[in-house]
Amino acid sequence: MLAPDLRVLFCGINPGLWSGATGHHFARPGNRFWPALFRSGFTPRLFRPDEQGDLLALGLGITNVVPRTTAKADELTKEELRDGGRALVERVARYRPRILAVLGLGAYRTAFGRPRTTVGRRPDALDGTEVWVLPNPSGLNAHYTLDGLAAEFRSLREAADRAPAGRERAGG
C-alpha cells in the first residue's frame, strides 16, 4: 500500500492475526481505523478493509512498523520495534509522503527512542516528511472512543489539506 508522494502514509504497529489471514490492513472486526478515516473526512464513504487499494487514488497509503503478525502488539520485542523504526525511516526517504502518521503511541516511543512523545504533530520531520503520532485504532485500545479517534484523525486530515506537495516541502 505504498506509492511515491502520498498525502499521508498511515503506519500501523504490525498486522494482527485477522489482517495476516486476509492480507488486508486493519481487517479485524472492531478495528476503528476505517470508521475513523471516514468520520475524519479522509474518505468519501466508509471503506472496507478489502477496498484498501482504493486509498492510493486518494493519496493515502498504509504500512507497518513491524511486518510480523501477532495476536497483540505487545508481543513484539523492543528490538523488533527499533529495527522496524529504522526500516520505516528508509521507506519514508524512498517514497517521500507529505505526512507519516504512526498509529500507536507506545510503538512510536519505542521504535524512535522518544519516551515522552504525545499524540499529535511531532516537531521533528523525517527527510522533509511531517510526522504525526495518533492513537492505535485497535478495538483493544480503550483509551480512545471512536469519536475521540476520529477527532485526532480529523486534525491530521486538516494538516494534510494544508501541507504543500512535492518539492515545496521542507527539505525537498
Active site residues: 14, 25
Cα distances (Å, whole numbers) of residue 97 to 63, 117, 130: 12, 21, 8
Tell me how far apart the alpha carbons of residues 24 and 147 are, in angstroms, rounded to a whole number: 23
**Residue 25 · residue 1 · CB < 8 Å:** yes
Strand 8-12's sheet: what is its strand order?
60-64, 8-12, 99-103, 130-134, 120-121
Closest CA to 113 of 79, 147, 138, 137: 79
**Residue 154 · residue 134 · CB < 8 Å:** no
